[in-house]
Chain A
Amino acid sequence: MQRDVGSLPLAPAVRARLVSAGFQSVQELLETGPCGLSKEIGISKEEALEVLQVVRQECHGDATRTTARSGASRKCTALELLEEEQAQGFIITFCSALDNILGGGVQLTKITEVCGAPGVGKTQLCMQLAVDVQIPECFGGVAGEAVFIDTEGSFIVDRVVDIAAACVQHCHLIAEAHQEEDQLKALETFSVESILSHIYCFRCRDYIELLAQVYLLPDFLSEHSKVRLVVVDGIAFPFRHEFEDLSLRTRLLNGLAQQLIIVANDHKSAVILTNQMTTRIGQSQSTLVPALGESWGHAATVRLIFHWDNSQRLATLYKSPSQKESTVPYHITVSIPFGLEIASCKGIFRHTDKSVNYVFLVLLFSSLMNITGNTGMSPDLLIFCTFSL
């Protein structure tokens, strides 16, 4: 009952009038009544009635509010937060070097930004994560679903099918090696079709559609509570060409970042954004820096920069609250023609037991030799898959 008038969810003009008329607590408002209120602050009787209705609702809400309501401030100790963080899973990327520098994989409840030059593999990583988030818990995954917001039109389903097939195969190999009940059971429902059916794709053609989609995200995630990953592929593309007024752009981007942070926190999901690079022309040289300006740099918790060094792809952890800055090489593997599709060989060989890995390697190469030997064909493309075991 002692709640301050300034904290009520009223229209700002009405609030300002109440404060300037000298009302401080809601008790005073309720005592005055609608007629007195309308005379004192100069609003119509209907408006005064509405104000009192809001006040009564808020007071009722205060009395029954629980600490679990999102939006209300909740207190917890750092120990509780630590336990929560440790119990959370990571979304693995199927590249052990990348997972190591990230501290286990992509973290839930945080925004991770991946920046890079064109063609370096940002969309590939996003597609890989949209598949990896669905790995069942008995295999070390988070068993979630994924939302993929595509602004550039670069979401190619065929590639996702390749990645999903490799992931399913990898899980089959693990299950066969370990022969555990729950793993075999989980595999019954884990197939390429089930993976594809749990990736929700949205195509946004300009920044207005993107803003609208992000406003609708909280409701969508409440309906689909198993979503653990939200990908926005191409946050830079819609914002880089339509804006004469850069301050408007900064404001919209900040608002977007805030909404995504709320979504990440409330629904315990990871948010991945991909960004482009732009050239900053300095006095003597020019460097490639992430696009969208300096203020956007604060939006993401973790920042990865993908770049080329001659023909080697490198990933640098540029910003992280918990891991140290480091650079690792990574590869994007290709599929092999003659109908034998092994995309992401790296993924298959990520088994923790190294002896199992070597056995599979030998099996793989011997079967490839058999195929070329039997058919007598020389391959159109000679593929080298490099691994770091």
Chain B
Amino acid sequence: MDWDQFDLNPKVIAALKKADIKSIKEILNLSGADLQRLMKLSSADIQCLLKTVSHMLRRSSMLTALQLYQDKDHRTSQHQKLSLGCSVLDNLLKGGIPLVGITEVAGESSAGKTQISLQLCLCVQYPYQYGGLESGAVYICTEDVFPSKRLQQLIDQQHKLRADVPAEVIQKIKFGNSIFVEHAADLDTFHNCITKRISLLLTRGMVRLVVIDSIAALFRCEFGASDSVTKARYLQTFGAQLHSLSTRFRTPIMCINQVTDAVSESEATQCGSSGLQCLSSTWNNLGKSTANETDGQPNTAA
């Protein structure tokens, strides 16, 4: 870190270099008293240093809610959403799924979770005016093989499924070319995938949607009941990484979760329908929006 570019007293800069402090993170990690001892400066100097460094980091970060509301630029606006290709679902979600953050789809087996994600992979490729993001998608499979036949069916029928879009627009889009499929059956491959491989595609702007089908499969077999602490830690790390990718690139991340039964003594007979979302409160704490498919009927009329 080049301290000379900061607006600081030369004495402070010299002390920073002498104490071998290399980044803003190190400065903020230390308390005021520690900094005083390390750099041998008075408390007024340290306060000034902290304020200058914080200023550098947070230069022009304030927005009023009015500015956020009136922002119509599709690159930054909160109003921009990714349509799901179904007017009923879009109405429920007030336009579609938000562009920043993780969206979780949970449901029982064969409720339609994979179908809706395939549909989303196609929806993201439409132009902005039709609710898409004009970009591709990454589909990460963690258990089953990618349903390519079903995808091909959906592609062939797009002109019927998306009657609101003119046929010439649909014909121009090469749907199959922009869907990147990854297989990640265990945690390490998954970690590698989200930290290295996806970032590459995102930086180049080739994809604006990440689908993880399913996040539960990664954790269900590897962790037993006694490993809940390790599982929680992995969940938190992955969640935070996905969250930060989503924020940096304004890309929605869709995670498919499975359901498990919460067995309590009094409700043993009602288990089948209670269907709590799998993966515990740690996952749910990551601040995402959730869409549940309890009566899910696969949507073919969109």
**From B241, which residue of chain A is reached at the shortest CB distance?**
A241
Of B127-135, B144-152, B168-176, B279-287, the stretch lying at the interface with chain A is B279-287
- CB–CB B66/A197 < 8 A: yes
A237 contact from B44, B88, B287, Cβ within 8 A? B287
Least CB distance from B60 to A in Å reads 11
- CB–CB B29/A248 < 8 A: yes
Give complex CA distance A199, B54 in Å. 21
Q: Which of A130-178 contact B (CB under 8 A)?
A: 130, 148, 152-158, 160-161
- CB–CB B61/A277 < 8 A: no
Least CB distance from B1 to A in Å reads 13
List of B residues within 8 angstroms of A202 by Cβ: 58, 61-62
Least CB distance from A245 to B in Å reads 10
A276 at the interface (CB under 8 A from B): yes
Q: Which of A179-225 contact B (CB under 8 A)?
A: 193, 195-203, 205-206, 208-209, 211-213, 215-216, 219-220
- CB–CB A199/B55 < 8 A: no
List of A residues within 8 angstroms of B98 by Cβ: 156
The total of interchain contacts (Cβ-Cβ below 8 angstroms) comes to 131
Of A8-16, A76-84, A101-109, A262-270, the stretch lying at the interface with chain B is A8-16
- CB–CB B285/A118 < 8 A: yes
Give complex CA distance A281, B240 in Å. 23
- CB–CB B57/A156 < 8 A: no
Q: Which of B166-190 contact A (CB under 8 A)?
A: none
A288 at the interface (CB under 8 A from B): yes
List of A residues within 8 angstroms of B42 by Cβ: 9-11, 54
List of B residues within 8 angstroms of A236 by Cβ: 285
A11 contact from B41, B54, B64, B286, Cβ within 8 A? B41
Least CB distance from A320 to B in Å reads 25
State the interface size on chain B (CB cutoff 8 A).
51
Interface size grouping (class) on chain A: 35 or more
Q: Which of A205-262 contact B (CB under 8 A)?
A: 205-206, 208-209, 211-213, 215-216, 219-220, 234, 236-237, 240-242, 248, 251-252, 255
- CB–CB B53/A380 < 8 A: no
A288 contact from B41, B79, B243, B281, Cβ within 8 A? B281
List of A residues within 8 angstroms of B28 by Cβ: 208, 211-212
Give complex CA distance A157, B68 in Å. 7
Give complex CA distance A215, B79 in Å. 31
Least CB distance from B260 to A in Å reads 15
- CB–CB B69/A216 < 8 A: no
- CB–CB B64/A198 < 8 A: yes
List of B residues within 8 angstroms of A205 by Cβ: 244, 247
Least CB distance from A162 to B in Å reads 11
**From B102, which residue of chain A is reached at the shortest CB distance?**
A153
B194 at the interface (CB under 8 A from A): no
Give complex CA distance A107, B285 in Å. 27
- CB–CB A213/B240 < 8 A: no
List of B residues within 8 angstroms of A130 by Cβ: 65
B24 at the interface (CB under 8 A from A): yes
Identify the interface centre among A195, A196, A277: most chain B CB within 10 Å of its CB: A196
B25 at the interface (CB under 8 A from A): yes
Give complex CA distance A291, B212 in Å. 27
Q: Which of B26-43 contact A (CB under 8 A)?
A: 28-29, 31, 36-37, 40-43
A119 at the interface (CB under 8 A from B): yes
- CB–CB A216/B25 < 8 A: no
List of A residues within 8 angstroms of B64 by Cβ: 196-201
Least CB distance from A164 to B in Å reads 9
Identify the interface centre among B43, B55, B237, B282: most chain A CB within 10 Å of its CB: B282
Give complex CA distance A186, B256 in Å. 50
List of B residues within 8 angstroms of A198 by Cβ: 64
A119 contact from B63, B66, B290, Cβ within 8 A? B290
List of B residues within 8 angstroms of A9 by Cβ: 42-44
Give complex CA distance A242, B29 in Å. 13
A279 at the interface (CB under 8 A from B): yes
Give complex CA distance A139, B282 in Å. 42
- CB–CB B51/A241 < 8 A: no
Asked, given contacts A118-B284, A252-B29, A337-B91, whether A208 binds B57 with beta carbons under 8 Å apart, the answer is: yes
- CB–CB A197/B65 < 8 A: yes
List of A residues within 8 angstroms of B44 by Cβ: 9
Asked, given contacts A196-B65, A213-B58, whether A13 binds B53 with beta carbons under 8 Å apart, the answer is: no
- CB–CB A240/B236 < 8 A: yes
List of A residues within 8 angstroms of B243 by Cβ: 152-153
Q: Can you offer 21 A-B residue contacts whose CB atoms are under 8 A?
A: A117-B284, A118-B284, A119-B284, A152-B287, A153-B247, A157-B65, A158-B69, A158-B78, A196-B69, A197-B65, A199-B65, A205-B244, A208-B25, A211-B54, A216-B54, A240-B236, A242-B240, A251-B31, A277-B285, A279-B228, A279-B281
Chain A to chain B: the 5 pairs with minimum beta-carbon distance, closest first: A212-B54, A196-B66, A152-B287, A199-B65, A118-B284
